[in-house]
Amino acid sequence: MSDMRDKLIVGLDLPTLTEAEKAVRELGDTVSFYKIGYQLAFAGGLDFARELAEDGKKIFLDMKLLDIDNTVAKGVENIVKMGMTMLTLHAYPKAMRAAVEAAKGSNLCLLAVTVLTSMNEQDVIDAGYEYDPHTLVLRRAEQALTAGMGGIVCSAEEASAVRKIVGPAMAVVTPGIRPVGSDRGDQKRVVTPADAIRNGSSHLVVARPIVAASNRKAAAEAILAEMRSA
């Protein structure tokens, strides 16, 4: 079970530091890896991320960076100093290359966000892309591999195909994980924890099914057990 703790990333998608701190206390040693995204980051979450890292937790900083090369590079340089484990960027080749160069020599795993799991084919068309989500994910996975990124963020629906492209070494991080019977929320391409592992995911990002549960620790333990069964 301990190795699965390194594969389960709990999203602290909560509005305040007080609530995030409470969730971490309740989860205790059951969880070793946390995601901090926009919602918490803009409520003091960046300092909290540093504190968690200093306490021995792994932190996935979900910032989805995209800007001119110099701005991306300077941001990555400072994030390296924070002691984070993972950082997301949108999978644009120039931004990825700049980030890889800035993170060189560090332990920061840079993740390329391919297509958001809240998007379906019509959403991708509306955004101006000529590819369907599956094709776009695979194209961006190839570009991330070429750029030297540490991993890919995609739906677990595409994890198997992505794994064939990037090989065994790169991380394949899959959000949009929903245990059987849970609410999809705003996610459109979702997969169960067991199927995500079977499909080749190296890390599963789970937020609402755990942080919105009445018993967060029990919810996390159930997901870990399902992951282990796969």
Cα separation, 12 vs 207, in Å, equals: 6
Active site residue: 7, 55, 58, 62, which one? 62
Active site residue: 67, 123, 188, 217, which one? 67
Q: Is 143 annotated as a binding residue?
A: no
pLDDT, average across residues 125-142 = 89
Active site residue: 64, 123, 188, 217, which one? 64
Domain 2-229 sits in which CATH superfamily? Aldolase class I (3.20.20.70)
Cα separation, 194 vs 112, in Å, equals: 23
Q: Indicate if the pLDDT at residue 211 is higher than 80.
A: yes
* Number of alpha carbons in the 13 Å side-chain half-sphere of residue 229: 10
- pLDDT range class, residue 185, cuts 50, 70, 90: low
Q: Indicate if the pLDDT at residue 95 is higher than 70.
A: yes
pLDDT at 1: 43
User: Which residue carries 């799991």 as its tokens?
Assistant: 117
Q: Is 66 annotated as a binding residue?
A: yes
| Structure tokens, 5 | 């703790």
What SS3 class is residue 58? Answer: strand
- Could you confirm whether 62 is annotated as catalytic? yes
Q: Indicate if the pLDDT at residue 47 is higher than 70.
A: yes
Amino acid at 14: L
Q: Is 40 annotated as a binding residue?
A: no
Q: Is 108 annotated as a binding residue?
A: no
The overall longest dimension of the chain from CA atoms, in Å, is 46
pLDDT at 125: 82
- pLDDT range class, residue 22, cuts 50, 70, 90: very high
pLDDT at 168: 94
In the chain, domain spans? 2-229
> pLDDT tens digits for 53-66?
999 999 999 999 99
Rg of the chain over CA atoms, in angstroms?
17
Q: Is 68 exposed, middle or buried (0-12, 13-18, 19+ CB in 10 A)?
A: exposed
Q: Is 174 exposed, middle or buried (0-12, 13-18, 19+ CB in 10 A)?
A: buried
Answer left, alpha or beta for residue 209, where phi above 0 means left and psi between -120 and 50 means alpha: alpha
Which neighbouring-strand residues pair with 205? Answer: 9
pLDDT at 182: 60
- Determine the angle formed by the axes of helices 69-81 and 93-103, rounding to 10 degrees: 40
- Could you confirm whether 67 is annotated as catalytic? yes
- Percent of the chain residues topping a pLDDT of 70: 94
pLDDT, average across residues 98-114 = 97
pLDDT, greater one: 51 or 156? 51
- Could you confirm whether 29 is annotated as catalytic? no
Q: Indicate if the pLDDT at residue 191 is higher than 70.
A: yes
Q: Indicate if the pLDDT at residue 139 is higher than 90.
A: yes
pTM: 0.91
pLDDT, greater one: 1 or 102? 102
Q: Indicate if the pLDDT at residue 204 is higher than 70.
A: yes
Q: Is 165 annotated as a binding residue?
A: no
pLDDT at 190: 66
Who's near 26: CB < 8 A, 6+ residues apart? Answer: 216, 217
